[in-house]
Amino acid sequence: MRTAIPPHLLQDPEVEASEKVLRACVHCGFCNATCPTYLLTGNELEGPRGRIYLIKNILEEDVPPTRQTVEHIDNCLGCLACETTCPSGVDYSLLLETARPRLDQLVKRPLMDRLLRALLTRMLPYPGRTRLALKMSGVGRAFSFLMPRVMRPLLAMAPKRLPRPAAVARPGVVPAEGTRRLRVALLTGCVQQVLGPQINDATVRLLTRLGAEVVIPPDMGCCGALTFHMGERKRSLKLMQHTIEIWHRELEAGLDAIVLNTSGCGTAIKEYDHIFRHDPQWADKAKAVVERVRDVSEVVAQLGLGEANHAPVLKVAYHDACSLQHGQHVTDPPRQLLQAAGFEVVEVPEGHICCGSAGTYNMLRPDLAQQLQARKVEHIASVAPQIVAAGNIGCMEQIAARAEVPVVHTVELLDWATGGPRPAVI
């Protein structure tokens, strides 16, 4: 693709990198075939190829962006299925993450949209605030008719009852059972601490049972992924820097891996070295962190399950979180582990298409998200599973809202199969 980006913009290293990505695109359109929003709308501007043209126009400054431009970019889930499909290796995620903050500077969003985004960026990264907000959601539901329309989907998604805080995955060091084989740090997630603490408990039990010492830093915070993918930068970068500092300290104390059981976080964290590549204060530390980051399924596969015959043989539909299959290219380990644990794993049709969760997408673009949710649940039902397993809390919440079978994290099943408790929802 030819570009005509003004020289003064090319002095920005992010724009310079974006130009290289744009030049790699050959307009083939293969990406549209796997784009969820293009499949729903058939609109060229709701597919990756169309959005690439919009981003090109923004950078070339030929066509002033409008609110309609912002809407087309906002409608992108950031699922990265297009990257998996692209024969030219176009780094679409780089274009997207460069375009979103630039659009925020160039186009003023509607007031209610700005308020919703401000609420999410100030609430979701902080478990205490999120827990308080969800506890108050019952009152909000009673008066939802008085709430702004954009706020109502948040109330509808809020659970009526919150689980108890984690009992095992608490700050500190949890020793390995028997001989220590690995020493790892665990990111417990911000939203996951509130909505899925049982996932963290199962992760710690599983890892320690297999011989890993698990470190949960007491001052660990949000990794910055949720707000970063929304296009917000000031708060996101500070959260990322704090995370890098905490993990770098643990690396110096001796650490074999940084384990993530929230694949949505993993996609952003594995980009830390790219995000901070031009910052001399953080570049080396970020690179050292990224080199140790691994999904929990990869670490468990390395350790080996050992004896895994405690759970009954159940038919499990494994859902590929986009952040895991497209963002991190981790597809085989979860399936292989579930099979090794004695479960019958079945493939979900159209498994490469997003469920509509996509971080904050189902809160910001509920209409499209609900269409994708219905599509995903229908495909899951077609294989008649007894359980759905996934590797990301966002996908779990999205699918569980409509699915007629229990939805659990992969580690909950692996923990059960190796001697842990039966997941509460099963």
Q: With beta carbons less than 8 A apart as the criterion, state whether 342 and 305 touch.
A: no
What average pLDDT does range 355-363 have in this prediction?
95
Half-sphere exposure of 329 (CA within 13 A, CB side): 4
- pLDDT tens per residue, range 362-397: 999 999 999 999 999 999 999 999 999 999 999 999
- pLDDT tens per residue, range 227-237: 999 999 999 99
Give the whole-angstrom CA distance, residue 130 versus residue 195.
Answer: 9
Sign of CA pseudo-dihedral 406, 409, 414, 419: negative
Q: How many CB atoms lie within 10 A of CB 212?
A: 27
Q: With beta carbons less than 8 A apart as the criterion, state whether 258 and 185 touch.
A: yes
pLDDT at 154: 81
Q: Pairing mode, if any, of strands 172-174 and 182-187? A: unpaired
Confidence check: pLDDT of 89 > 90: yes
Confidence check: pLDDT of 40 > 90: yes
Calculate the CA 251 to chain-centre distance.
Answer: 24
pLDDT at 85: 95
Q: For a pLDDT cut of 90, what percent of the chain falls above it?
A: 86
- pTM summary value: 0.94
Confidence check: pLDDT of 62 > 80: no
What average pLDDT does range 92-115 have in this prediction?
92
pLDDT at 400: 97
